[in-house]
Amino acid sequence: MKVVIDTNVFLISLPRRSIYRTIFDACLSNKILLIVTTSIFFEYLEIFEQRSSKEVARYIDDSLTSAKNVIIPSIYYYWDIVTEGADDNKFIDAYLAEGADYLVTNDAHF
């Protein structure tokens, strides 16, 4: 199953006691194919460092760059579907470019 995970969901899935922890665990255990473009990857790192710590950001960096279940698609077309929170278009572009099964987000404008 190919999945694009918005940063807000990835962030809340990190704590061990989070009800969303199964999402992060699925990434670590190769149960899903995680689709991450370069811009999504950099947003993950930036937000994790801001909201958590440099250590958490490094852990995510190491985990994602070495994971065999991470797909890095080439984006050839930018759809610009989201007008509110236009920075989130990168998630839709990754979803469409790779033909993902799911785009997981908590953002209402999706």
The residue range of the domain holding 50 is: 2-104
Is 110 a domain residue? no
**Residue 103 CB: number of other CB atoms within 10 A?**
19
Q: Is the pLDDT of residue 89 over 70?
A: yes
- 23, 13 Cβ separation under 8 angstroms: yes
Is 9 a domain residue? yes
pLDDT tens per residue across span 100-109: 999 999 887 6
Confidence of residue 110 (pLDDT cuts 50, 70, 90): low
CA dihedral 42, 100, 86, 70 (to 10 degrees): 0
Helices first, then strands: H and E counts in the chain: 5, 4
- Whose CA is closest to 37, among 83, 88, 1? 88
Residue 31: predicted pLDDT = 93
Is 109 a domain residue? no
Mean pLDDT for all residues in the chain:
89
Is 33 a domain residue? yes
Is 17 a domain residue? yes
Residue 53: predicted pLDDT = 82
- CATH (domain of 28): 3.40.50.1010
Instruction: For residue 40, give Cα distances in angstroms to 4, 17, 19, 45, 107.
Output: 9, 25, 23, 9, 15
d(CA 22, CA 19): 7
Q: Is the pLDDT of residue 47 over 70?
A: yes
Is 14 a domain residue? yes
More confident residue, 57 or 19: 19
